[in-house]
């Protein structure tokens, strides 16, 4: 994998400390379903901007996390070299989502417009709260309401009216003064 072609790479976890003497490593998963990180292989492992692939040959639950064994790593010394490395995948490996569902990364950078045509800004981030996800919308620099940022609940139907993938725009029912 060349360094230039990293735009489609998504970090899905991180390798922890070595476990045992046979080259196993602790795995910290960032995926919604933590075990889902093992659904794809090989993994892209990133360290200091360099990428390589590692093939998971075995894994298991360990305490509150996971441990994994890789084809290319056979002892504790080799495993040490991968401590704290990022576990990534190419976005092409992501499963297709059903109609109306989105990956967070797809929403970042989209324009957010009220159903009355007022531009609220662009999606800068998303937050997970206990009850629902929240869009963090960075307001336009000349926002008429003096807002720098808005937090808009991602509630389909009541707040989120339409997500137009091709137009990169989200239509919301939202008071710009909020």
Instruction: Give percent of the chain above pLDDT 90.
Output: 54
Q: For the chain, give the DSSP string.
A: --SS--TTEEEEEEEEEEETTTTEEEEEE-SSSGGGGGGS-SEEEEETTEEEEE-EEEEEEETTEEEEEETT--SHHHHHTTTTPEEEEEGGGSPPPPTT---HHHHTT-EEEETTS-EEEEEEEEEE-SS-EEEEEEPPTT-TT--SEEEEE--BTTTEEEEETTTTEEEE---TT-
User: Residue 2, Cβ neighbours under 10 Å: how many?
Assistant: 6
Number of Cβ atoms within 10 Å of the Cβ of 140:
15
- 112 in the same domain as 74: no
- Using the 3D structure, point to which of 43, 60, 93 is the last residue of a domain: 93
Same domain, 82 and 110: no
**Percent of the residues in the chain that have a pLDDT greater than 70, as a whole number:** 96
Tally of structural domains, the chain: 2
User: pLDDT digit string (tens) for 127-143?
Assistant: 888 788 899 999 988 89
Q: Which of 52, 27, 47 is nearest to 38 (CA)?
A: 27
Chain mean pLDDT for the chain: 88
Query: Within a domain: residue 99?
Result: no
Please report the pLDDT score of residue 6 as a whole number: 53
Cα–Cα distance measured from residue 81 to residue 150, given in angstroms and rounded to the nearest whole number: 42
User: Looking at the structure, do residues 87 and 114 belong to the same domain, yes or no?
Assistant: no
CA distances from 26 to 51, 77, 88 (A): 19, 14, 15
Evaluate whether residue 178 is within a structural domain.
Answer: no
My answer on whether 85 and 110 are in the same domain is no
Q: 130 and 85, same structural domain?
A: no
Co-location of 111 and 76 in the same domain: no
C-alpha to C-alpha distance for 114 and 118, rounded to whole angstroms? 5
- Which residues form the domain of 68? 9-93
pLDDT at residue 110, as a whole number = 94
CATH of the domain at 40: 2.40.30.60
Q: What is the pLDDT of residues 144-154, one digit of tens each?
A: 898 999 999 99
pLDDT in tens, 35-71: 989 988 789 998 877 888 999 999 999 988 999 999 9
Q: For residue 81, is it within any domain?
A: yes
In a domain, 129, yes or no: yes
Asked if 49 and 83 sit in the same domain, the reply is yes
Shared domain for 74 and 137, answered yes or no, is no
Of 41, 58, 93, which marks where a domain is finished?
93
Quote the pTM value.
Answer: 0.59
Judge if 60 and 126 occupy the same domain.
no
Bridge partners for 51 per DSSP: 46
Task: Give the pLDDT of residue 7.
Answer: 61
Q: Are residues 86 and 45 part of one domain?
A: yes
Q: Look at residues 93, 112, 129 and tell me which one is the last residue of a structural domain.
A: 93
The answer on 113 and 89 residing in a single domain is no
């Amino acid at each position: 994998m060349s360094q230039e072609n990293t735009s489609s790479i998504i970090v899905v976890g991180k390798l922890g400390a070595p476990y045992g003497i046979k080259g196993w490593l602790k795995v910290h998963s960032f995926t919604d379903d933590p075990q889902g990180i093992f659904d794809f292989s090989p993994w892209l492992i990133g360290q200091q901007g360099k990428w390589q692939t590692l093939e998971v040959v075995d894994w298991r639950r360990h305490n509150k996390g996971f441990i994994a064994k890789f084809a290319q790593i056979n002892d504790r010394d080799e495993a040490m070299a991968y401590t704290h490395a990022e576990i990534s995948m190419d976005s092409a490996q992501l499963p297709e989502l059903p109609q109306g569902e989105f990956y967070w990364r797809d929403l970042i950078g989209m324009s957010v417009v009220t159903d009355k045509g007022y531009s609220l800004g662009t999606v800068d981030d998303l937050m997970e709260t206990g009850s629902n996800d929240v869009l963090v919308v960075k307001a336009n620099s000349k926002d008429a309401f003096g807002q720098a940022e808005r937090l808009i609940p991602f509630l389909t139907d009541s707040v989120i009216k339409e997500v137009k993938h091709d137009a990169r725009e989200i239509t919301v029912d939202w008071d710009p003064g909020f």
